[in-house]
Amino acid sequence: MKFSLCIGAYPGKDEIYHLEKIKEHGWHGLEYYAWWNLEDLKRTAREQERIGVGISATCTKFISLVDESLRDAYLEGVRQTIEACRILNVSSVISQTGNELEGVPRDVQRRTMVETLKRCAPLFEEAGIVLEVEPLNGLVDHRGHFLQRSDESVDVIDQVGSPNVKLVFDVYHQQITEGNVIRNATGYIDRINHYHIADNPGRKQPGTGELNYVNILRAIKETGFDGFVGLECGYTIDTDEAIGQFKREVLAAL
């Protein structure tokens, strides 16, 4: 497994500072969500090459997959994002699904999502980039988000049927939505491209809540998974101290 940090791990610091810190910790990537906020993509690309660590994941420019009237805007955002990924050498693009639409049957919205993803798939296949759909919890953080459960998310991915459209499995969100984390995190391994981790409650660093990340990450590792696990969390202590603690108490036990 490879480990990444998310932008904001060092509040107020830019992507270059984060990349330097990731290199210092011996980790492997940075998740920088809003690529369009970077001042100069080519400068960031040069800095990545100098440091030896790069952005491992970013996000799509438009997030609604369930609103057919926004399909063209979503696809244009995808095209722009793929071009940015080519400059930055990013291989994973995260997409939320947008909120459920009032007055539109859920099965209609699902079909809209599947069709939009099917139209995206050839673009990502040609670029050699994976589009990752992310289910989010609707109880605490994202009320109304369309995709929340693992099983429904996997069904959508299976209907799309592309090796370049998969899931990002966020352990924090799925613990809130459904529990049963290890069974789902490993049982759907062939549809998952990477993982997000944070503890619950609070969405802080592993070790601050109820989730046993030694057991969770060990189970994922035993599947042979060699992709990214991103710490998408806040920190109750200094970030460097928290990462050191995570290495000693979790990674050392895997």
Q: Which residues of the chain have pLDDT under 50?
A: none
Number of domains observed in the structure of the chain: 1
Domain hosting 76: range is 2-253
> Catalytic residues, which ones?
134, 232
Question: Residue 198 is part of a domain; what is its CATH number?
Answer: 3.20.20.150
> Whole-angstrom Cα distance, residue 238 to residue 86?
34
- The tens digit of pLDDT for each residue in 196-217 reads 999 999 999 999 999 999 999 9
- The tens digit of pLDDT for each residue in 62-93 reads 889 999 999 999 999 999 999 999 999 999 99
Burial class (CB within 10 angstroms; exposed 0-12, middle 13-18, buried 19+) of 20:
middle
